[in-house]
Amino acid sequence: MIPVETQPTERDGTTVIPQLTEDIRYDWQEEEALALYNLPLLELVGQANAVHRRYHEAGRLQKASLLSIKTGGCPEDCGYCSQSAHHDVELTREKLMDPDAVIALAAKAKQAGAERFCMGAAWRKIRDGKEFDAVLAMIRGVRALNMEACVTLGMVNKDQAKRLAEVGLTAYNHNLDTGPDYYPKIVTTHSYQDRLETLKCVREAGIALCTGGIIGLGETPRDRVALLRVLASMAPHPESVPVNMLVPIEGTPLAQAEPVDSLDIVRMIATARLMMPQSMVRLSAGRSSLSRETQILCLLAGANSIFYGNVLLTTPNADVQADDALLEALSANV
Ligand code: SAM
Ligand code: DTB
Ligand code: SF4
């Protein structure tokens, strides 16, 4: 393997900027990942854009639709989450939706241009029985519409992953959220290892992995690249990597977290793109606080999917009108 320079160096009086010399790698070291993350911004975005264009159709943006199929009352204590029963958040709990209602919403989302339908449930783990059967019916229904189907239901075991695969689930979302060292500061009711084990069961069942994280939890750039390193050490890389920016929620321990510089999400996306050239990189939660121009920078840096729809799971998303205007602005100026 050709070594990658990790630090800008002085050669013959000129500064040599680290270059990406080989694209698909599973052995990124922390220092070189951090060196990419810290590149001069235009250099970072330029390199990421070049890699993006090598592996993806430039200008192609996938719209995904997101629905909370079971809301609130979760036994886990994730510090950022509105749906944890540990926090005092004003949120109406909703039991698992009826599959027909979910499938009708998926059909509507398809009409509005969504190619992928993502369903989220506030569970620690899936329990076998009536509720799991209802989720399987939802997945079958979404797949019958010829849409990609993704679910996020908490932890799964091997047998459950197999059943999800059998009904044609496209992808399973299970985020690692942040680097392994910082994770226990955010969540104590399950471990990083628990998350990795679920991802292993999902992958072994032949389902695509959707796994990424959140910036703005009080983590350092080193924690951010530590997360990217864990993701990029998976072979093959996760097919889908959501990058979320914290949506601060009143009543959660992270309600008052220091807001991140919006350019940090550009750096995070660009670094993810460089480390995982073939993955879909999803510009996920937090878009409603980004300007149109920052979002465009994220797309230049390698993001190729957004959630389209006025709400995420429990919080407002960038609204559909603003997104239509964004897509219009991105189209040819004729
Ligand atoms: N309970 C399941 C789980 O934790 O995997 C699925 C639902 S959970 C809400 C899905 C993901 O949403 C989390 O892993 C986290 O990355 C993201 N998320 C939750 N609350 C968020 C917030 N306030 N801001 C940004 N991302 C958030
Ligand atoms: C992901 O990475 N982001 C989505 C999806 N996967 C399930 C969830 C974002 C949630 C934002 C906070 C909320 O609306 O509750
Ligand atoms: Fe529960 Fe998922 Fe929220 Fe954690 S992120 S509290 S597991 S719904």
Specify the residue for token string 């190619």: 115
**Atom 6 of ligand 3 has which residue's CA nearest to it?**
84
Q: What is the pLDDT of residues 265-282, one digit of tens each?
A: 999 999 999 999 999 999
Q: What is the pLDDT of residues 301-319, one digit of tens each?
A: 999 999 999 999 999 999 9
163 CA distance to ligand 1 middle (Å):
23
Was 282 annotated as part of a binding site? yes
20 CA distance to ligand 2 middle (Å):
31
Judge whether residue 82 has pLDDT over 80: yes
Looking at per-residue pLDDT, the higher value among 101 and 333 belongs to 101
CA atoms of 299 and 269, how far apart (whole Å): 9
Judge whether residue 5 has pLDDT over 60: no
Choice from 67, 81, 177 to test ligand 1 binding pocket (greatest atom count within 8 A of CB): 81
**Atom 3 of ligand 1 has which residue's CA nearest to it?**
154
Judge whether residue 295 has pLDDT over 70: yes
Q: What is the mean pLDDT of the chain?
A: 94
H or E segment to which residue 230 belongs: helix 221-232
Q: What is the pLDDT of residues 35-52, one digit of tens each?
A: 999 999 999 999 999 999
Judge whether residue 1 has pLDDT over 80: no
Judge whether residue 173 has pLDDT over 50: yes
Percent of the chain, pLDDT > 90?
A: 92
CA atoms of 260 and 265, how far apart (whole Å): 8
pTM for the structure as a whole: 0.94
pLDDT value at residue 334? 78
pLDDT value at residue 9? 55
176 CA distance to ligand 1 middle (Å):
10
The confidence band for 332, taking pLDDT boundaries of 50, 70 and 90, is: confident
Residues annotated as part of the active site: 74, 78, 81, 118, 150, 210, 282
**Atom 7 of ligand 2 has which residue's CA nearest to it?**
120
CA atoms of 312 and 323, how far apart (whole Å): 14
pLDDT value at residue 3? 39
Q: What is the pLDDT of residues 139-164, one digit of tens each?
A: 999 999 999 999 999 999 999 999 99
The confidence band for 21, taking pLDDT boundaries of 50, 70 and 90, is: low
Pocket (CB within 6 angstroms of ligand 3): 74, 76, 78, 81, 83-84, 122, 124, 154
Was 118 annotated as part of a binding site? yes
Domains of the chain: 62-330 (3.20.20.70)
CA atoms of 68 and 66, how far apart (whole Å): 7
209 strand-pairing partners: 172
The confidence band for 178, taking pLDDT boundaries of 50, 70 and 90, is: very high
Judge whether residue 18 has pLDDT over 90: no
Specify the residue for token string 């992953």: 161
Determine which of 4-13, 226-235, 255-264, 273-282 has the lowest per-residue pLDDT on average: 4-13
8 Å CB contact between 274 and 55: no
84 CA distance to ligand 3 middle (Å):
6
